[in-house]
Amino acid sequence: MTPFTFDKLVIFGVGLIGGSLARALRERAGVAPGGRIVGVGRTRASAERARELGVVDDVASLDDDRELAAALAGADLILLAAPVAQTRPLLERILPFLGEHTIVTDAGSTKSDVVAAARAALGARAAQFVPGHPIAGRESSGVEAALPDLYVGRNVVLCPLPENRPADVARIDALWRVTGALVSTMSHEQHDRVFASVSHLPHLLSFALVERILSAPDAALKFSFAAGGFRDFTRIAASSPEMWRDVCLANRDALVDELDGYLAVLGQLRTAVLASDGATLEAVFSRSREARTQWQERGGLAPK
């Protein structure tokens, strides 16, 4: 297999996701010494922390044409690691400075909206955009939370466009594999249905549980007695509110379908509780436990 190398990688949004990719390339894969990593922030100052920590080599401001042009000059790879609602504005901003052979990818948690944004912003040059989604978040955010091994053994989903060059898709595939990630592909429609169920809905429910307790008159007392189960269930409620706001709105239809299904299950459980129907409760709990156990034993793979 040909070793993965690059000349210049430009990361828009050097937080947890973008910063972890930079650290993985530099510290784990050992390929960054052959290329430069540039971090671009909304302002120059917002990206400076990443340089102070040694995560990137150079920084640039999104608002400065001269700095942005210099950052993108000679770039072979660009990663958009920003909230999905920023995809179209970012692509429109970089289009005048986008090299003919530069490959652009993203790390957004939704894909149908991102594909639409890329086609609207880039037009015929959307062929240079390879949609991607690393499944490797943490409850902490920001470049300080970035880890060189964040992607080891984690899934990365690519949703190639029909107009993408196979060589460009293979290049983005190689980018993620060198970090230790497991790369797969699916359509952007299938991606959004799957992740509405196993990612977007759980985050919504986690935020909702904390909000429910906050609204209670004895919230402080309840929080004082919260233990392991509450901690495990609500861990992801510490995630970025801005990012998850955008995800919920971007994948609205699929998420509402999943939420409606979840409400139906809650309704069945409510009926069982009211009726003291222990058999129904135990049957649901047993099925769930068995499925969860099988999933865990297979290392997170689907039960057969």
Q: Where are the domains of the chain?
A: 8-186, 191-297
Q: In angstroms, rounded to a whole number, what is the distance separating the alpha carbons of residues 243 and 199?
A: 13
Orientation of helix 252-274 relative to helix 201-214, angle to 10° = 60
Q: What is the pLDDT of residues 178-210, one digit of tens each?
A: 999 999 999 999 999 999 999 999 999 999 999
Structure tokens at 203: 């985050």
- Give yes or no for residue 101 having a pLDDT over 90: yes
pLDDT confidence of residue 304: 41
Structure tokens at 53: 């920590």
Q: 155 has which bridge partners?
A: 182
pLDDT confidence of residue 302: 52
Q: Is 194 exposed, middle or buried (0-12, 13-18, 19+ CB in 10 A)?
A: middle
Structure tokens at 77: 């790879």
pLDDT confidence of residue 64: 93
Confidence of residue 30 (pLDDT cuts 50, 70, 90): confident
CATH number of 191-297: 1.10.3660.10
Determine what percent of the chain is predicted with pLDDT higher than 70: 96
pLDDT confidence of residue 99: 96
Q: What is the pLDDT of residues 155-169, one digit of tens each?
A: 999 999 999 999 999
| pLDDT, mean over the chain | 92
- Give yes or no for residue 141 having a pLDDT over 80: no
pTM to 2 decimal places: 0.86
How far, CA to CA in Å, does 47 sit from each of 59, 196, 259, 268, 302?
6, 31, 37, 49, 39
- Give yes or no for residue 1 having a pLDDT over 60: no
Structure tokens at 84: 């999905």
pLDDT confidence of residue 32: 64
Q: What is the pLDDT of residues 31-52, one digit of tens each?
A: 766 789 999 988 787 789 999 9
Q: 12 has which bridge partners?
A: 40, 80
CB 102 within 8 A of CB 77: yes
Region 266-290: what's the mean pLDDT? 97
Kindly list the strands in the beta sheet with 155-158, ordered across the sheet, starting from the edge strand earlier in the chain: 132-134, 155-158, 182-185
Map residue 47 onto helix, strand or coil.
Answer: helix
Number of H helices, E strands in the chain: 13, 9
- Give yes or no for residue 57 having a pLDDT over 60: yes
Domain 8-186 is in which class? alpha beta
CB 183 within 8 A of CB 154: no
Q: In angstroms, rounded to a whole number, what is the distance separating the alpha carbons of residues 98 and 118?
A: 13
Do the strands 132-134 and 129-130 form a parallel or antiparallel pair, or are they unpaired?
unpaired
Supply angle C-alpha 44, 47, 49, rounded to 5.
Answer: 120
CB 52 within 8 A of CB 73: no
CB 68 within 8 A of CB 40: yes
Return the C-alpha torsion angle 7, 107, 299, 256, nearest 10: -170
- Give yes or no for residue 276 having a pLDDT over 80: yes
Task: Give 300's Cβ-side CA count (13 Å radius).
Answer: 6
Q: In angstroms, rounded to a whole number, what is the distance separating the alpha carbons of residues 301 and 145?
A: 27
Q: What is the pLDDT of residues 204-250, one digit of tens each?
A: 999 999 999 999 999 999 999 999 999 999 998 988 898 899 899 99
Q: What is the pLDDT of residues 68-82, one digit of tens each?
A: 999 999 999 999 999
Residue linked to tokens 């899934």: 155
Supply angle C-alpha 223, 284, 230, rounded to 5.
Answer: 15
